[in-house]
């Protein structure tokens, strides 16, 4: 398993995306802002659904709640993309963080 993780780290660190993320002045901050925006969309949507299930947001119609699903999915997709970019940029920080 360790040799696979070492090969994965080497492969990711030698990619163009990793080089771009590390050496660009604006890529990392923009990804951080997008990641926060994605989290806000996702948690906000899920939070409203939870409040409705708890009976605290009875005034929200099911139709209005259904329209929010797209925003939650958009937030999730933004987070998947930005997390992938973070992982490719600095794989050793995430690979060896106790998960394996």
What's residue 95's pLDDT? 79
User: What is the reported pTM?
Assistant: 0.82
pLDDT in tens, 5-35: 778 788 888 889 889 998 999 999 999 999 9
Flag whether pLDDT at 99 surpasses 80. no
pLDDT in tens, 82-92: 999 999 998 88
Give the pLDDT mean for 31-53. 94
Q: If we measure between CA atoms, which residue out of 5, 4, 80 comes closest to residue 42? A: 80
Q: What angle do CA 78, 91, 98 make, to 5 degrees?
A: 100
- The answer to whether the CB of 35 falls within 8 A of the CB of 82 is yes
Report the percent of the chain where pLDDT is more than 70.
97
28: tokens are 């990392």
CA–CA dist 14, 92 (Å, integer): 13
Give the pLDDT mean for 40-69. 89
Average pLDDT, the chain: 89
Flag whether pLDDT at 75 surpasses 90. yes
């Amino acid at each position: 398993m360790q040799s696979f993780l070492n090969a994965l780290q080497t492969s990711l660190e030698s990619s163009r995306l990793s080089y771009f993320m590390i050496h660009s002045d604006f890529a990392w901050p923009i990804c951080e802002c997008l990641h926060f925006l994605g989290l806000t969309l996702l948690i906000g949507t899920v939070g409203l659904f939870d409040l409705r299930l708890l009976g605290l947001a009875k005034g929200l119609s099911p139709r209005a709640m259904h329209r929010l699903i797209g925003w939650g999915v958009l937030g999730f997709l933004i987070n998947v993309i930005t997390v992938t970019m973070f992982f490719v940029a600095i794989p050793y920080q995430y690979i060896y963080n106790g998960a394996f």
